[in-house]
Structure 1
Amino acid sequence: MRVLAIESSCSAAGVAVINEEKVESEIFLDYKLQHSTILFPMIENLLKLLEITINDIDAVAVSGGPGSFTGLRIGLAAAKGIAQGRNKKFIAVSSLDAMAFAQVGFDGIICPIMNALRDNVYTCLYRWNEGRFERICEYEALHIKDLIERLKGNKVMFCGDAMLLHKNTIIEELQENAYFAPKTSLMPKASALGELALLRLKEGNLDNIYTYSPIYIRQSQAEREYERRMRKNLE
């Protein structure tokens, strides 16, 4: 089985093709370019380098959130378009899951954190338990200080774009219990997302292309502004 994976939940964008034996190829780009302009060229170049077409793909996987509202929508639109147009299976995987999964073998709590603005982060907690990858709480959006307070007394590996923003605060509060992912697994990668999707594909655990919507956790700024204006109009 072969999966095309698309990652677009944050500033970085990535695409990968993975099968049951290996990552066949991956393109990763963390640069100030809009996902809407680079995702399809990345996919086209990846398939061209591998000398395959979408017809050789069994499923399309995509970052399902949380993360950048715009990035998630662009990635989902691309993945759904490909899957629907070529009648491929569709799987959405949380980028938090993918980042934590890449920290294989860490003996402690794994805590990916994504920037949710105003010192808030999207996060979830994970661990490796006798070789099994486990999620141990629900996806959340909360203030970085509240998260750190919850983690005190535990050995914790941090990863994600918000790790760079809050690293000094984390070190100050957690000291020797704070660990940080290396650059190679700091950001969500399409290959890790694809590997998790491949596991679900084997189990037949698919998402419905027509009903799936991203894990937003909280409203977008546009939605919050709309509700604020509506409340003001009713006053």
Structure 2
Amino acid sequence: MLVLSVDSSSKCATCAIVNDEGVVSEYTLNNKREHSVLIMPMIEQLLKDSNLIIDDIDGFVVSKGPGSFTGLRIGMATIKGLSFGLNKPYVSVSTLDGLALSLSSFNGIICPIMDALRDTVYTSFYKFKDGKLERLMDYTSLSLEELKDSLNEKGENVIFTGDGVFKHKEFLLENINNCSFASNHVNVVKASSIGEIGLELLKEGVKDDDNSSPLYIKQPQAVRELNQRLQMKSEAQ
């Protein structure tokens, strides 16, 4: 089975083609350009350089987040359009799952963190058991203090990965026991990682439908600020 995967949940834009044997091809750009400008040209070039056409693809995989609200909408809309236009299935996978998959050899808690602004991160905790990635908690957003308390309470070795590492590494080193950090090349989301997860799901018959939507752990900042203003106005009346 040949699948095309896309992740646009962070400032990084990445797409890949994977099959049962591994990664066929992959492009990753980490230069902050608008995903709406990047994604379709990347897919077209990826197919061309792989000597494939879009009809050769058997299914699609897209990141559902958490991450950038705009980026997630662009990625989801792109893959939905390709899926429905070609009448081929697609499945959405969490970016956090993809980040954790890259650290399958670690014996301890794998903690991907994505920057959620204002000293908070999107995260979940993982372990590999019997060769499979196991998520230990639901996807969530935590303040750095909450993250520290949760991990120190577990008392296990922990490894961090994700774009939140670059911003918060000093705090993590000073406040979390027995912690280490993934190499820089796996701190960036890779479409091949979510593609590997999605490939197995599609082979099992798991797929999304037209009601699928991105994983919004927090409301967009503009919505939160509007709700705050409405609440203050209501209280003042």
Calculate the TM-score normalised by the size of structure 1.
0.96
1:218 aligns with 2:218: yes
Partner residue of 1:168? 170
> Could you tell me whether the CA contact under 8 Å between 1:105 and 1:131 is conserved in 2?
no
Cα deviation, residue 233, structure 1:
4.5
Provide the secondary structure at the position in 2 that maps to 1:117: coil
1:71-126 alpha-carbon deviations (Å, 9 max, x no partner): 10111111111111111101000000000011111100000000100000000000
Report the Cα distance in structure 2 between the residues aligned to 1:149 and 1:226, rounded to whole angstroms.
31
Partner residue of 1:188? 189
Q: Which amino acid aligns with 2:159?
A: M
Partner residue of 1:201? 202
Provide the secondary structure at the position in 1 that maps to 2:65: coil
Q: Which amino acid aligns with 1:185?
A: V
Unaligned runs of 5+ in 1: none
1:159 aligns with 2:161: yes
> Could you tell me whether the CA contact under 8 Å between 2:90 and 2:202 is conserved in 1?
no
Calculate the TM-score normalised by the size of structure 2.
0.95
Counting matched residue pairs gives 233
Report the Cα distance in structure 2 between the residues aligned to 1:164 and 1:179, rounded to whole angstroms.
13
Report the Cα distance in structure 1 between the residues aligned to 2:104 and 2:190, rounded to whole angstroms.
14
Report the Cα distance in structure 1 between the residues aligned to 2:41 and 2:232, rounded to whole angstroms.
44
Report the Cα distance in structure 2 between the residues aligned to 1:109 and 1:232, rounded to whole angstroms.
41
Cα deviation, residue 53, structure 1:
1.2
Partner residue of 1:179? 180
Unaligned runs of 5+ in 2: none
Provide the secondary structure at the position in 1 that maps to 2:26: strand
Cα deviation, residue 230, structure 1:
3.0
Provide the secondary structure at the position in 2 that maps to 1:61: strand
Report the Cα distance in structure 1 between the residues aligned to 2:7 and 2:82, rounded to whole angstroms.
14
Q: Which amino acid aligns with 1:197?
A: G
Q: Which amino acid aligns with 2:199?
A: L
User: What aligned pairs does 1:132-151 form with structure 2 within 5 A after superposition?
Assistant: 132-151=132-151
Report the Cα distance in structure 1 between the residues aligned to 2:232 and 2:159, rounded to whole angstroms.
44
Report the Cα distance in structure 2 between the residues aligned to 1:144 and 1:87, rounded to whole angstroms.
43
Report the Cα distance in structure 2 between the residues aligned to 1:221 and 1:108, rounded to whole angstroms.
34
- For the aligned residue pairs, the C-alpha RMSD in angstroms reads 1.1
The percentage of counterpart residues that share the same residue type is 45
Partner residue of 1:69? 69
Moved over 2 A (4+): 228-235
